[in-house]
A and B are shown apart, each in its own frame.
Chain A
Amino acid sequence: MSAINVSGLRKSFGSQTVLDGVSFAVEHGEVFALLGSNGAGKTTAIKILSTLLPAGGGTAEVCGFDVAKQARKAREAISLTGQFAAVDDILTGRENLILVAKLRGVKNPAQAADSLLDRFGLTDAANKRAGTYSGGMTRRLDIAMSMLGSPKVVFLDEPTTGLDPDGRLEVWKTVKELVGSGVTVLLTTQYLEEAEQLADVIAILRGGKIIVSGTLDELKKLFPPAKKEYVEKQPTLEEIFLAVTGREGK
């Protein structure tokens, strides 16, 4: 049984068809990237999978639970980090974590919060209001909140959109750490580079359908090899160093 199983998923808003028969499966422990431009329907797909929006057709299962018919069971298995960070600005980072821990029925909320603060490098900011956090920190807190209650599947909707380059690197590091914990991740992104960095499997969503999917290597084989271009390259400091010491050595 796959961690996520989507088959023939459809959704329209009025006369606009956003998902037009989307099918894919994500295996346990895998990081799956749904790559698509703005308006492709990524958020719509995530909302259906996280039981926030009813599908117009097709089926979607998370850990074997149908998101429409067994919504409650599905919610126990998942966690959502939406496109816009949903942290409470007035509460501190620690209080945000404790809040979610209590809602998810975690045994020792304060302890669970502290260990996540440590793991996500937020211990110093733990008692500051989340409203004072930088974009990258807010996103990290947001993702940390999604890790409470040990969900099996985590949805990350455009986790780095709107972040500065530093924030993006911070979040990438965070996501890579998640993967070590064995959780299944479905993330959406507009950036090929992000998908390359984080995902085991990449699927491209366009025109309401998955037009291509596979591992990075498989995708590369589908496209003609990149044209070779010769560009005059400035030597790096390291190359200069090696060159100099190498000559000295001879």
Chain B
Amino acid sequence: MSKTGVLFGRLMRHILRSPDTIITVAMLPIAMMLLFVYVFGGAMKPSLGENVNYVSYMLPGILLIAIASGTSYTAFRMYEDREKGIFQRFASMPIPRSAALWAHVLTSLVSNMITVAIIFAVALLMGFRSSAGILEWLAAIGILALFTLTLTWVAVVPGITAKTIDGASAFSYPIIFLPFISSAFVPTETMPAAVRWFAENQPVTSIVNTVRALLNGQTVGSEIWVALAWCVGIGAAFWALAVRSYRGRGW
């Protein structure tokens, strides 16, 4: 446990010394947010209704995009540690082998929550308002943290197994794209039948709807259970895969 802490400290120092990681990760979603609100926003009004605050509407989707691109850096950092023989050094030391793995997972969680905080701050400047109480806020942050953890375990697998640096982060591209075919930016009712079916049944929609409802003080339906099931299910599957590939490989 204390060894995980030491290794976590090392990785956080990496991030603080290359703040471009956090900035790059927050930049793209913020640029998208500006684009959607100030360029497309006007055109969205008719399908959303006049009194919908579009910043608040699309913020959950933007946060998921930020987390998806943020977790790809975990795959990247793990790949580097593997390539440079750092994992090998740790594996030959009298510390639990799992410490190096958990340090990366913890780092991903903390750095992504920092990114989320930055995006919330920018959204506030752009007019995001929330009527959520403290419990709703905690629930919303909790779901975002769970989503981060899920994608982190997805990222760990290529981090351990990828043969090239590009291969390590490629997993994130389709995930970054998923929010566009979901309820994140436009209501699914406006989509053609087949696309709509996909949009309504893929994980992002249930997560976006839940976070949106929590932050906007609306009633949260059964969708929260669908969202949790997706996160826990995918996370558990990739956790098992990650642990297996981590143990199975020779250092």
Contact = CB atoms under 8 A, between A and B. Distances in A.
B10 interface: yes
B251 A47 contact: yes
A47 B86 contact: no
Given A86-B88, A88-B86, A52 B18 contact: no
A90 B250 contact: no
Given A47-B251, A84-B84, A88-B86, A99 B10 contact: yes
For chain A, the bracket of interface size reads 20 to 34
Contacts, number: 60
Contacts of B126: none
Contacts of A85: 85
A76 interface: yes
Contacts of B14: 90
A55 B6 CA distance: 31
A220 interface: no
B23 interface: no
A54 B250 CA distance: 8
Contacts of A51: 91-92
Contacts of A52: 88, 91-92, 250-251
**Chain B CB within 10 Å — which of A47, A90, A104 has the most?**
A90
Given A52-B250, A91-B13, A86 B85 contact: yes
Given A47-B251, A90-B18, A76 B86 contact: no
A80 B88 contact: yes
Given A85-B85, A90-B17, A50 B92 contact: yes
A102 interface: yes
B3 interface: yes
B94 A76 contact: yes
A47 B250 contact: yes
Contacts of A89: 84
Secondary structure type dominating chain B contacts: helix
B89 A86 contact: yes
Given A99-B6, A102-B6, A75 B13 contact: no
A193 to B, nearest CB: 26
Given A52-B251, A88-B10, A99-B10, A104 B93 contact: yes
A79 B92 contact: yes
Name, among A51, A54, A103, the residue most crowded by chain B CB atoms within 10 Å (CB to CB): A103
A78 interface: yes
Contact of B89 (A47, A82, A91): A82
Contact of A103 (B17, B85, B88, B95): B95
B56 to A, nearest CB: 38
A176 interface: no
A72 interface: yes
Interface in A202-234: none
Contacts of B91: 51-52
B90 interface: yes
A202 to B, nearest CB: 24
A242 interface: no
Contacts of A75: 92-94
Given A90-B17, A91-B13, A99-B6, A53 B250 contact: yes
Contacts of B94: 72, 75-76, 104
Interface string A49-67: 0111110000000000000
Interface in B101-139: none
Interface in B1-46: 3, 6-7, 10, 13-14, 17-18
Interface of B: 3, 6-7, 10, 13-14, 17-18, 84-86, 88-95, 250-251
Interface of A: 47, 50-54, 72, 75-76, 78-80, 82-86, 88-91, 95, 99-100, 102-104, 145
8 contacts: A51-B91, A52-B88, A54-B250, A82-B85, A84-B84, A86-B84, A90-B13, A103-B95
The 10 closest A-B pairs by CB, nearest first: A86-B85, A52-B251, A80-B92, A53-B250, A86-B89, A75-B94, A76-B94, A50-B92, A102-B6, A82-B85
